[in-house]
Amino acid sequence: MSKSTTADDGTTIGLDLGDKYTEACVLDDSGEVEERFRVRTTSPGLSKRFSGIAPCLVVLEVGTHSPWVSRLLSGLGHQVIVANPRRVRLISSNDSKNDRVDAELLARLGRADPKLLSPITHRGADVQKDLVLLRNRDGFVRARTQLINQARGFAKSLGDRLPSSSSKAFPKRVREAKKEEIFPGLETLLQLIDILNAAIADMDREIERLSRERYPVTTLLRQIKGVGPLTALCFLLTLEDPHRFKNSRSVGAYVGLRPKQRDSGKQQPQLRITKAGDEMLRRYLVNASQYILGPFGPDTDLRRIGLKLAERGGKAAKKRAIVAVARRLAVLLHRLWITGEEYQPLGYGTADVEAA
């Protein structure tokens, strides 16, 4: 591609990011394919190829490499659009799908109207690294649960049962019950769980330190009973900038807690939530909601709203109440973050929360 290309020329480049190579399609101002090229999906490879190109519009789909690639290309002066995969079904459902075709489709969609792609803004590098800590911990917790379930399953298949306990105390309780010899390898499983317990405890201390030193605003969010350091920090890192939301109500939809909508005429079916956005944050919010509505939850506006919804009856009433409280909790957390106000369990922004 000519190095004299400028943004004013209307040049658009679609990138299909692969794990090893990236396919690119260059469209000129008239929408004709000017060039196709292939480049290694590495920082040196992309830097060398795009540093000699005058600023232009680059469109790529969100994925594993899209955060650092978008930051790299933006740093080189290009306008980068990261397409929301939910809005580019044209690519996934294409009968003639391949990397070259995908790159061209992204370029044409970006050239037609970038808003059609519902562009995603990736978080900064430092915030992403801190979020990796939470995801790493989450993976360790899942691995620990899987190992405990595996141990219990093996014991049951042999006509025995392992003692009930918390995940943290599981190895100790099994050893106290003299159950290490139930089946070969159980002691090895216990040792692995011990290692995971120690690693999770170290991460918890690091999360507390990060919250205290780098993200003190989490203290505001933790005013709500049921919102601990994990939920507060995950909420902060996932949203990153609270001011990019027009209003607090939109946060509920952002984390995928808004019901789907397929109204047609007089038909308004009740559908499941969209489950868009970050799955881990949504899970933490639901866990906090379960505590708020549980036997140990204090008397708050959120609890009263949730219990009222649960009383409406039906098999799914309690589940709907939990999701509704989780959505309102997201709205409330954003409100506290924006205003920096002291949280009042009863009477705080009742109208705003109910409207959400």
DSSP one-letter string for 4-38: T--GGGT-EEEEEE-SSEEEEEEE-TTS-EEEEEE
Please state the pTM of the whole predicted model: 0.77
Q: How confident is the model at residue 7 (pLDDT cuts 50, 70, 90)?
A: very low
Give the pLDDT of residue 122: 78
Q: Is the pLDDT of residue 107 over 60?
A: yes
User: For 230-262, how does the pLDDT look when each residue is reduced to its tens digit (9 = 90+)?
Assistant: 999 999 999 999 998 889 999 998 999 988 766
Give the pLDDT of residue 23: 95
User: For 298-318, how does the pLDDT look when each residue is reduced to its tens digit (9 = 90+)?
Assistant: 999 999 999 999 988 777 889
Q: How confident is the model at residue 213 (pLDDT cuts 50, 70, 90)?
A: very high
CA distance 100 to 87: 19
Q: Which position has the token pair 């692995």?
A: 192
Strand pairing report for 79-83 and 57-61: parallel
Give the pLDDT of residue 233: 97
Buried b (16+ CB within 10 A) or exposed e, 198-227: eebeebeeebeebbeeebebbebbbbbbbb
Residue 142 burial by Cβ neighbours in a 10 Å radius (0-12, 13-18, 19+)? exposed
- How many residues are recorded in the chain? 356
Of 47, 52, 82, the residue nearest 65 (C-alpha): 82
Q: What separation in angstroms does the CA of 206 have from each of 134, 153, 198, 236? A: 10, 33, 13, 16
Give the pLDDT of residue 189: 96
Give the pLDDT of residue 8: 47
Contact (Cβ atoms closer than 8 angstroms) between residue 293 and residue 317: no
User: For 172-204, how does the pLDDT look when each residue is reduced to its tens digit (9 = 90+)?
Assistant: 999 999 998 899 999 999 999 999 999 999 999
